[in-house]
Each structure stands twice: as structure tokens, then as C-alpha cells.
Amino acid sequence: MGIKISGTGSAVPEHVLTNADLEKMVDTSDEWIVERTGIKERRIVKGDNVVTLAEKACRKALEDAGKKPEDVELILIATCTLEEFFPCCACQVQARLGAVNAAGFDVNAACSGFLFALATANAYLSTGLYKNALVVGSEVLSRLVDYEDRGSCILFGDGAGAVFVEPAAEGRGIISVVQGCDGPGGVALHCKTDALDKIHMDGRAVYRFATRQVPVCIEQALQKAGMKAEEVDLFFLHQANLRILETIAKRLGIPMEKVPHNLDRYGNISSATIPVLLDEIKKRGKMVAGNKIVLAGFGAGLTYGACVLVWDE
């Protein structure tokens, strides 16, 4: 038995930080950023935080699924930008939602976090321990971004996405999952818990890792599912850099029409990129029952993951 996504929701801050704004902060240009990344603007919190963004996204996902907070049995929140060690984000969101029947905890696998949380929900629900879950990616990267480092500050934004998951019909929902870590490669992207530390990134190393590892991981997940890349309708890939998406598509031999993207408007929102994009594409009515879908990403750790699912309504 796999799980299906029966509701989606997202919450992005209203404040927009454009490439023109960044031109005033560091030695960069709109032309360079668009050409090297595809990003035009990103959203930055003014007043919100990881918990309030997650709560907003969860409320929308519940509404979309036609569920009430007290129906929720498990809350899994992927985040790497929570402001406190504890209580975890999931417990704070449980309180704010009034999801009195839900257990919850956080998952930190950086930008792959949503995929790891979704796979965790899949494992829990498959055993029958819980009947449903809210799976969330919520991040306030702007807190950790060094706005004097032009090599990284142009990439990141803030936001949250949530999905409500339940058991799927036979042969539908999540069919296969592949995950992994390259711990030794972790030095390429790190940030200490010290309140003064900021993101340190070797952009080229992360780029090489993503373009090498993600296609391999997707192929492995497809093989486990008994599918071929050309059969897949949509690939929801972690929104880090348009060039990374194009390289992955090329390596898999798939057209870019099957790789939806919104990074031009939001930049890299770490664990929130995939659920925010899922919400956007679902609300546009682009997914119908039976569609074959791949979710895949990579992040600090270094972590990576992919899952294959058959859309169920």
C-alpha cells in the first residue's frame, strides 16, 4: 500500500526581493542571475516565521482535502531553519492548528527534507500505525543567508508547502522511494547553529553533485517502480537552479515541458520547493488520476531522494 496526496496548500510571504534589489546589495546583475540560475525574484518574510508559514500551508492543505484539524493523526515538518532547538515545529503547528489527535516531529534533511518526510509518512501509514498525515516543508532561509555573499544570496527565499496524505487505492499513490546521503560531501554546504553563522556554499560542488546524483536516483526509483522515464507525465524537481533542472532533464532524455518550475518567482525555498510547486500545479488542474509522477531533489548533507507515484484522487 502506498499513500496518496489528497490535499495541498502553500504559504509564501508577500514581500518580494527582486534581482534589481540584490543589485543594490551585492556586486551582481539581473542578467547574471537570470542567465546562471533562472531566478528573477524570491519572497522574504516580514513578521512570519517557519511555524506560522507552516500553519498557513497546513490550513490550506486541510481545506483542500476536506479535513478538519482534529482529523489529523501525524504531522511531519521538514525544516532546517527553525529558530529554536525545541519545541519542534510540528508540535508548535499542532498547537496552533488545534490538531489535538496528532503526533508530530521534525525532519532535517535540508532541501531533500520534504521527500524524506513524505517517505517517512509513507512508511508509517503503510504499517497502519496512522491513517493520515500532514507532510510539510517550511523554511525561512533569509535568516541564514549571507547578504554579502553574491555567490549564494541570490538563490534563496522563504515559504512553506503542505500536503495531506492518506492510503491510496491499490496500484496508486507512492510506488517506490530511493534516498541517500553523501556525508563526506557535506562540507560543500553548511551552516552552524551559532546565531551569527550564515550559509557557506561551494556552488560548483553542489551543482556537480545535483546534476550527477539526481538523475541516477530517479532512474533507480523508476526501475524499482517498473517504469521508464518516458512514461512519466510530470517531474517535480527541487527548485534550485534552472540549469540544474535542464541538465537533469537532458540526462533523463525528457522534455522540459514535463518539468514544471516556479523558481523564477520563488528561488530556492529548500524543503518547501516541491510541495509549493505541487500545490501550484494541482490548483491549475494539471494532474489527473493515473498520472505518473516523480518527485526528486537534493540538498545539504549532502542528501538526495526520489519517489515515484501514481496520482490518485
Between 72 and 307, whose beta carbon lies closer to ligand ACO?
307
Q: Which residues pair with 164 in a beta bridge?
A: 7, 134
For residue 154, state whether it binds ligand ACO (rule: CB under 6 A). Answer: yes
For residue 269, state whether it binds ligand ACO (rule: CB under 6 A). Answer: no
Please give the radius of gyration of the chain, using alpha carbons only, rounded to the nearest integer: 18
* Cell 520534504, located at residue: 114
Between 36 and 283, whose beta carbon lies closer to ligand ACO?
36
Give the whole-angstrom CA distance, residue 273 versus residue 278. 9
Which is it for strands 303-310 and 292-299: parallel, antiparallel or unpaired?
Answer: antiparallel
Mark residue 253 as left, alpha or beta (left: phi above 0; alpha: psi -120 to 50; beta: remaining): left
Where helices occur in 5-158 by DSSP H, the ranges are: 19-23, 30-37, 50-65, 89-97, 113-127
For residue 204, state whether it binds ligand ACO (rule: CB under 6 A). Answer: yes
Which of 189, 263, 269, 295 touches ligand ACO (CB under 6 A)?
189
For residue 159, the surrounding DSSP H or E stretch is strand 158-167
Least distance from ligand ACO to the Cβ atom of residue 25, Å:
10
**Near ligand ACO by CB under 6 A, which window of 53-61, 115-123, 166-174, 200-208?**
200-208
Residues identified as active-site: 111, 238, 268
Residue type, 29: S
Q: Are 205 and 238 in contact (CB under 8 A)?
A: no
Site size with ligand ACO, rule: CB under 6 A: 23
For residue 274, the surrounding DSSP H or E stretch is helix 273-283
**Near ligand ACO by CB under 6 A, which window of 26-34, 47-55, 88-96, 304-312?**
26-34
For residue 130, state whether it binds ligand ACO (rule: CB under 6 A). Answer: no
Q: Are 95 and 77 in contact (CB under 8 A)?
A: no
Q: Which residues pair with 17 in a beta bridge?
A: 42
Which of 75, 111, 272, 307 touches ligand ACO (CB under 6 A)?
111
**Near ligand ACO by CB under 6 A, which window of 42-50, 146-154, 224-232, 274-282?**
146-154
Write the interaction track for ligand ACO spanning residues 66-105; mark x where CB under 6 A is met and - where it is not. ----------------------------------------
**Residues of this chain that bind ligand ACO (CB under 6 A):** 28, 32-33, 36-37, 110-111, 150-151, 154-155, 189, 201, 203-204, 206-207, 240-241, 268, 270, 299-300
